[in-house]
Amino acid sequence: MRELDETDIVILRLLASDGRRSYSEIGERVDLTPPAVSDRVSRLQEAGVIRQFTIEVDHGTLREGTPVLVRVTPASGETERVRTALADADATEHLFTTAGGEIVAFARTTTTAVHEWVAETVEPAAVDDTTVDLVADTEWTASVDPAGFALDCAECGNTVTAEGTSTVVGDDLEHFCCESCEAAFREQYEAFEAAAEEA
């Protein structure tokens, strides 16, 4: 598997901003023919860099409600319970857990009494503290950082460079930093398969 080059990164950024963008339009931006763009996108899919093409729905146009940011500090041992309750709420659009253990929900509530909505959604005994901020504007941007696209060797965990290889083992596409790692991985896989057949 070759390393991602600048053209791959630009293609990923273009697709991240608009997954319906045509290969012709992308080709004009990166100075490639549409078939060449299609080939690169196929290779990125095969490598697992692109997992799926999807849409981003603007919930603000589909539902009424006041956009709010709700920050909840769960009581001791209640983080998962609070998280599940907020995740299951219809009003919640995005949910985050901070490193400090707080649960942050972006929601659109149909009531102005957001603290009451939280109390109805999450058992009050499970919450130590709640703060609510009205949201003036939102914007979600897909980030495509070249440093985030390094592939790890399935055998040793090292970064796969241009000298690496990619091959299908079983039903999965695996990436290796060198032929030795590929051989060791395949040998171990075949040993597991043989043991499974004997069992």
State pLDDT tens for residues 110-156: 777 888 888 888 988 999 998 888 887 777 665 565 555 567 788 88
Looking at the domain 151-199, which fold is it? Ribosomal Protein L24e; Chain: T; (2.30.170)
Question: 45-54, 178-187, 189-198: lowest mean pLDDT where?
Answer: 45-54
55 or 119: whose pLDDT is higher?
A: 119
Alpha-helical (H) ranges within the chain are: 6-17, 23-30, 34-46, 59-62, 79-88, 114-121, 179-198
pTM above 0.75, yes or no: no
Domain made up of 61-134: CATH architecture: 2-Layer Sandwich (3.30)
Task: Return d(Cα 199, Cα 182) in angstroms, integer.
Answer: 26
Instruction: Name the token pair of 110.
Output: 């149909």
Domain coordinates of the chain in residue numbers? 1-49, 61-134, 151-199
CATH class for the region spanning 1-49? mainly alpha
